[in-house]
């Protein structure tokens, strides 16, 4: 299937590893011109070189921490030097913090809000003028299955990722006059650095082998395993393509069946 994105300009934020990296790679493979961003310049350099090796294509990169407003203002300035328009924005920054209500103070709540909600808000703000110049802009935000089936111990991200879905549904309406579609991909448990770090920490904390922790988190997944990030990326690219021209304001689960609510 030709997704029709050859020659489109795309920005992927959170692209140095995990789902963002695989989404960037898949967009490159479909022929998009790619700009990537994450916090760490060394990670970005390595990602750009891996992408070049995998696809033969060159990507341009900029280091910015989306939890810092000034960094994202600088990202906007850089974007405007790089391109006259943006067709696709993918925001893949976010994550959860394992904690119960009584362990969370205001600072912990606000830090996770910056990470999961304000990061996306800021990159959308930084990209909007350029997205308006596209004939048909597409924004794809990485959400999570959590708000559809709130996991215990993941209170802050359950709450904040639910806020992201509200953001997507509201902006899809607000940006309609600019012909910009806004959607979200909501992954289930996906084996990226986010999980390898968590598994390692829990394994050390409990003094049990890592496989035991993996089994604990696998048994309730109908697919019987974690996803790999390259299984999430195709949905990101599909929503970022012209094949989904009538899809907006949606949050699409790619979760191996873990969130099984009827609505």
Ligand X SMILES: NC(=O)c1ccc[n+]([C@@H]2O[C@H](COP(=O)([O-])OP(=O)(O)OC[C@H]3O[C@@H](n4cnc5c(N)ncnc54)[C@H](OP(=O)(O)O)[C@@H]3O)[C@@H](O)[C@H]2O)c1
Binding footprint of ligand X on the chain (CB under 6 A): 14-20, 38-40, 43, 65-67, 92-95, 119, 142, 144, 187, 189-190, 192-195, 229
Q: How near is the Cβ of 227 to ligand X at its closest, in Å?
A: 7
Nearer to ligand X, 38 or 248 (CB): 38
**30 and 241 Cβ atoms separated by less than 8 Å:** yes
To ligand X, the closest distance from the beta carbon of 213 in angstroms equals 14
| Helix (H/G/I), strand (E/B), else coil: 91 | strand
Closer to ligand X by Cβ: residue 6 or 225: 225
Nearer Cβ to ligand X (119/137): 119
Q: Which residue is nearest to ligand X (CB)?
A: 18
- Judged by beta carbon, residue 142 or residue 180, the one nearer ligand X is 142
Query: Largest Cα–Cα distance in the chain?
Result: 56
CB of 32 to ligand X, least distance (A): 18
Helix (H) or strand (E) holding 45: helix 41-55
Q: What is the DSSP string of 144-213?
A: -SGGGSPPTTBHHHHHHHHHHHHHHHHHHHHTGGGTEEEEEEEE-SB-SHHHHHHHHHHHHHHT--HHHH
Query: In the complex, what is the shortest distance from the CB of residue 179 to ligand X, in angstroms, rounded to a whole number?
Result: 26
Give the C-alpha separation, 237 to 88, whole Å. 9
- Choice between 98 and 242, CB closer to ligand X: 98
CA 34 centroid distance within chain: 16
Min dist CB 233 to ligand X, Å, is 10
Alpha carbon distance 11, 17 (integer Å): 15
């Amino acid at each position: 299937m030709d997704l029709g994105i050859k020659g489109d300009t795309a920005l992927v934020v959170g692209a140095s590893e995990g789902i963002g990296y695989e989404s960037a790679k898949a967009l490159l493979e479909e022929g998009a011109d790619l700009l990537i961003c994450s916090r760490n310049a060394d990670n970005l350099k390595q990602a750009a070189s891996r992408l070049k090796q995998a696809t033969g294509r060159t990507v341009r990169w900029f280091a910015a921490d989306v939890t810092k407003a000034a960094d994202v203002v600088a990202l906007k300035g850089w974007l405007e030097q790089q391109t006259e328009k943006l067709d696709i924005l993918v925001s893949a920054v976010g994550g959860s913090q394992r904690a119960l209500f009584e362990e969370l103070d205001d600072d912990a709540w606000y830090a996770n809000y910056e990470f999961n909600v304000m990061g996306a808000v800021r990159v959308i703000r930084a990209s909007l003028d350029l997205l308006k110049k596209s004939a048909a802009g597409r924004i794809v935000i990485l959400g999570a299955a959590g708000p559809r089936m709130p996991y215990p111990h993941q209170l802050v991200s359950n709450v904040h990722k639910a806020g992201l879905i509200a953001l997507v549904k509201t902006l899809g309406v607000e940006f309609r006059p600019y012909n910009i579609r806004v959607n979200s991909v909501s992954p289930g448990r996906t084996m990226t650095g986010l999980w390898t770090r968590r598994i390692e920490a829990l394994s050390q904390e409990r003094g049990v082998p890592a496989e035991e922790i993996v089994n604990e988190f696998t048994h309730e997944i109908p697919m019987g395993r974690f996803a790999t990030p390259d299984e999430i990326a195709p949905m990101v690219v599909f929503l970022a393509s012209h094949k989904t021209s009538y899809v907006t304001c949606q949050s699409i689960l790619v979760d191996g069946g873990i969130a099984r609510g009827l609505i």
